[in-house]
């Protein structure tokens, strides 16, 4: 699995968790101190995610980081 595929898999996992909890991208962004555009780029696999951002996203979604990394 290449880097782009890993980013896409992570983005899909985040989007799936967010949607299952009924959260909008705007709400998740507010919860993690980010912008809606940045959440969109993460979920779309357009950008890599730093460990700090990934930790904040996992906390906001009430999951362990490892639950978002499915590759």
Phi, psi (degrees; rounded to nearest 5) at 15: -60, -45
| Domain 3-68 in this protein, CATH class | mainly alpha
**What average pLDDT does this structure show over 3-7?**
94
Convert the pLDDT of each residue in 29-69 to its tens digit: 999 999 999 999 999 999 999 999 999 999 999 999 999 99
d(CA 15, CA 18): 5
Provide the pLDDT confidence category of residue 71 given band limits of 50, 70 and 90: confident
pTM given for the model: 0.93
Q: What is residue 70's predicted lDDT score, i.e. its pLDDT? A: 79
pLDDT band at 1 (very low <50, low <70, confident <90, very high): confident
Give the pLDDT mean for 1-8: 94
């Amino acid at each position: 699995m290449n880097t782009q595929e890993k980013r896409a898999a992570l983005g899909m996992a985040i989007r799936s968790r967010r949607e299952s909890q009924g959260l909008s991208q705007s709400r998740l962004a507010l919860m993690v101190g980010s912008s809606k555009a940045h959440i969109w780029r993460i979920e779309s696999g357009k950008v890599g995610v730093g460990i700090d951002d990934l930790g904040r996203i996992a906390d906001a979604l009430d999951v362990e980081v490892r639950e978002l990394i499915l590759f």
